[in-house]
Amino acid sequence: MKIAYIHDVIYPHVKGGAEKRVWEISRRLAERGHEVTIFGMKYWDGERAIEREGVRLCAVCDPMDLYVDGRRSIKAAVIFSSRLLRSFRGEFDVIDAQQFPYLHCFPAKVHSVLGKTPLVITWHEVWGDYWREYLGWKGMVGEGIERLAVRLPDKIIPVSEMVRDDLSALGVNGVKMEVVANGVDLRKIDSVEAAEPSCDVIYAGRLSAHKRVDLLIEAVGIAKKDLPEIRCCIVGDGPEREKLARLAEELKIQENVDFLGFLDSEEEVTAKMKSSKVFVLPSMREGFGISLLEANASGLPAVVVDAERSAAAALIKEGVNGVLCDPSAPSMASKMIDLLSDGSYKKMARDSKEFARGYDWSDIARKVEGVYERL
């Protein structure tokens, strides 16, 4: 098959879950003999079309700042979408557009119709009412665009059952959807050695408001009373970083919290994971939770907030690959203390690894391939 992926950002230049999914599936489908092209922003030097690990990358436009005042740039989404109308070239058997940031799904539909090519949209999260919290009155426009976007594709691939249920609430017919989860690169993770020095608790992900890393920092402040030497590592960057660093200073725990920023490679993140004891995911909104699976594959049980809008909570099997906590710093601190103080994290390491083995990217790629073939 000839497969076209459309997403404004490309891994590893931007290291989010959607970007990682596109890349991991793309290179595996290329290994399986398919011709795979990703249309996105030009993060590389030289020609506008290059090949990397058997996958063709085509530049739609030059890279732009993705965030303005902590929110995704509407201007960048508009520019990328308008350029996509002119820059999309080639004959394909299927087009797969990642749902966010929505606007590019409309020119993807234009090319789908013109080329008589089935359009798939991989849906990572339904925003719904959250649009208004995110953009104020402008959020009504975003909510309307989301409702229009669900009507565009021939097939939707939700990444979790929660996303599928949310799409059903928007009126999407169940026959139109087929859930295919995200995954982990088990072989690569197994090959990485632990880094030094070690951390007690670790978070890896973007530092955005809905990720609620502030809860983790507050929880470290509480846990310090029982575990004075507790060390927390925060891997990632984003619009909340300065605010979070100030919070650590206000709580007088700056010596206990290390802000590591985005590490240079996936292997470095895994090495840091493997040198840690417990992974914490404080996020209130998760369409899936790849970082949780990567932590489990590295032998770390997780403390995950049991939030209504977090599909990651559904991945937790209590006492096997982690524990759930209330969306509060005291509850999170209590779970962290329990796992660290009695050595429970060691007992759960093996089960966590075993749980992650059910989500190998190679198996995920074959499931996606099946969806495309049936189209």
DSSP calls for 165-195: HHHHHTT--GGGB------B-HHHHHHPPPP
Q: Answer yes or no: do 151 and 196 share one domain.
A: no
Sign of CA dihedral 189, 28, 105, 124: negative
Residue among 319, 313, 358, 361 nearest 26 (CA): 361
Give the integer Cα–Cα distance in Å for 75 and 195: 40
* HSE-up of residue 270 (Cα within 13 Å, Cβ side): 18
On whether both 215 and 262 belong to a single domain, the answer is yes
Residues 146 and 84 in one domain: yes
Looking at the fold, whether 131 and 63 belong to one and the same domain comes out as yes
Nearest of 129, 52, 117 to residue 91 by alpha carbon: 117
Task: Judge if 152 and 27 occupy the same domain.
Answer: yes
Per-residue pLDDT at 66:
86
Report pLDDT for 137.
Answer: 83
216 shares a domain with 109: no
Q: pTM of the entire structure?
A: 0.89
Residue-wise burial string across 63-94, b where 16 or more C-beta atoms lie within 10 A, e elsewhere: beebeeeeebbeebbebbbebbeeebeeebbb
Q: Which residues lie below 8 Å from residue 138, measured CB to CB, with a gap of 6+?
A: none
Q: What confidence score (pLDDT) does residue 212 get?
A: 96
The predicted structure's pLDDT at residue 280: 98
pLDDT at 68: 81
Give me the residues of the chain with pLDDT under 70, please.
Answer: none
Q: Are residues 193 and 311 both part of a single domain?
A: yes
- Rg (C-alpha) for the chain, rounded Å, is 21
Quick one: pLDDT at residue 80? Answer: 97
Q: Give residue 128's pLDDT.
A: 84
Q: Residue 271: which of 191, 362, 206 has the closest Cα?
A: 191
- Quote the number of domains for the chain: 2
In terms of domains, do 225 and 147 share one?
no
- For residue 107, the domain's CATH number is 3.40.50.2000
Domain match, 106 and 237 both:
no
Helix locations, 62-138, DSSP H: 74-87, 105-114, 130-135
Same domain for 223 and 292? yes
pLDDT at 16: 81
Which domain, by its residues, includes 194?
186-358
158 near 179, Cβ under 8 Å?
yes
**136 and 227 co-located in one domain:** no
| Residues 71, 208: Cα–Cα separation, whole Å | 9
